[in-house]
Structure 1
């Protein structure tokens, strides 16, 4: 892969990592469902040209609804409840071992000993994070992120059997589902959002705007561009840097003070994820060269 493309992958990692900071800052002013609905409202406006009915299916609507409403609603809800950013960034990687397990159940895939070990290590790391004093005081945050990861894993597996749908088209339908589902939920659960919207300053408006543009359009757009030019086996391992950068941003920008339990648990989780991803990448590369 050319150096310029590796640098683009670094930009995508940084964009996703900073989204945890933007989300944490956003839910400090807006209620989490309101923030998520606002984020997707901005994204929908930007992606209206990609909201096409061609290729639309029941599975597309299922994935869009689960992603936009459940996954992101729980993710930003978990950020609102959590006392830090680092634990959320690490726990969100649970979707990788969960995807591997769902692949066995739904697609009949097989796991070798190395991937089984990677899954066990990743889950063990998150369990250790749960005993971190900061996380232990607010276990709801870890639970919400775990469920959000499970939903993302389910959607990842379900998307494997979908017809070819472009990344922006998928995001446009996800944004539409989120807008239609989250605004009513926000009104019911959180009340009138107008006072928060009216009192938000430029920096607070920047949080949902960045989350929509930086994370969705820039981050996913770069990865999609790379996947069009390089094998999945070469792109996927590069994305392991995102949670590491999120921890660094959490310490430098949000004041996180990770304990040894969180750092060790994070290292174990990311090591397990690396084993799963790299093993999958090797298999994909072997198929390409066959």
Structure 2
């Protein structure tokens, strides 16, 4: 019998080449997405831009939308959080921020939030090597807060932190939706998210909503990338990974995303890149390397144990 428990989670399995390929694609899609999102927010407004993005996601995934018996309460909750509230927070933080690199880095707060929630609710265990790697990575991220350029972005950073908590809660829910098509889940996120964002957009930015039909072709193209490339491609990759691996394995894989975003933002917008940002980024990369090596070791151990069990049965 299916039920909406937050404590059900799929068994851990080895992290293979396909998993790594999908994870790398996810990092790149999300890393470049900051350029698209900032461009859309500047042209259409924070909430109208988020509304247009989620509407495109819903339309693109409409043919794959299906009712999932026994799981709709979780899907609706996920849609409200990950499809609606998260993009409201991201849109508002982008509208307030001038240093996009600092904002991209602050988005990594979702990693420790998700791991803490996983330990509390899913009883997952984080080994000492991965814990050290995550601490180093997060220290690198926090180091950037002391940069003068980032210090001027406190309101945007605070809103981004709220979005990170929403994202962390959503990862717990996603872990309980195994066996459901990625495009089906993504379509529900787009549809429910659009319904959540619409009243806020109409009340707060009515002029932006009225202008949605008269945006430039470039803005529509950026929105399409954010919707199809990031929401469908990137988020779909995350859902695929979370359905097969614990949060403590998948969440650290998002740590390189702000580094990629910082590189893209510096190149595209000319965002200042100080020595403190470079130092923080390098420390974060060291932490990510430790996590990646430990994940590879765990994957090999799981594969060897599985082969041993199969050999014993034979």
TM class, shorter-length: 0.7 to 0.9
Closer, same or farther: CA 165–119 of 1 in aligned 2, 3 Å: same
The equivalent residue for 1:249 is 264
2:149 equivalent to 1:106: no
Higher gyration radius (CA): 2
TM-score of the two chains, using structure 1 as the length reference: 0.85
Question: SS state of the match for residue 272, structure 2?
Answer: coil
* Structure 2 CA distance for aligned equivalents of residues 129 and 163 of structure 1: 36
What are the residue-to-residue correspondences of 1:1-290 with 2, within 5 Å?
11-55=25-69, 56-221=71-236, 241-276=256-291, 278-280=293-295, 282-290=297-305
Per-residue deviation at 1:238? 7.0
Question: SS state of the match for residue 43, structure 2?
Answer: coil
Question: SS state of the match for residue 52, structure 2?
Answer: helix
Closer, same or farther: CA 148–229 of 1 in aligned 2, 3 Å: closer
Per-residue deviation at 1:195? 4.5
Q: CA RMSD in A?
A: 3.3
Per-residue deviation at 1:123? 3.5
Name the count of aligned residue pairs.
Answer: 289
* Preserved contact between residue 93 and residue 273 of structure 1 (Cα < 8 Å): no
Per-residue deviation at 1:152? 1.2
| Cα deviation 1:118-153 (Å, max 9, x = unaligned) | 343333333322222122112012112222122111
Closer, same or farther: CA 5–280 of 1 in aligned 2, 3 Å: closer
Per-residue deviation at 1:107? 1.3
TM-score of the two chains, using structure 2 as the length reference: 0.79
* Structure 1 CA distance for aligned equivalents of residues 117 and 153 of structure 2: 28
Closer, same or farther: CA 223–160 of 1 in aligned 2, 3 Å: closer
* Structure 2 CA distance for aligned equivalents of residues 67 and 117 of structure 1: 29
Per-residue deviation at 1:249? 1.2
Closer, same or farther: CA 6–58 of 1 in aligned 2, 3 Å: closer
Question: SS state of the match for residue 19, structure 1?
Answer: helix
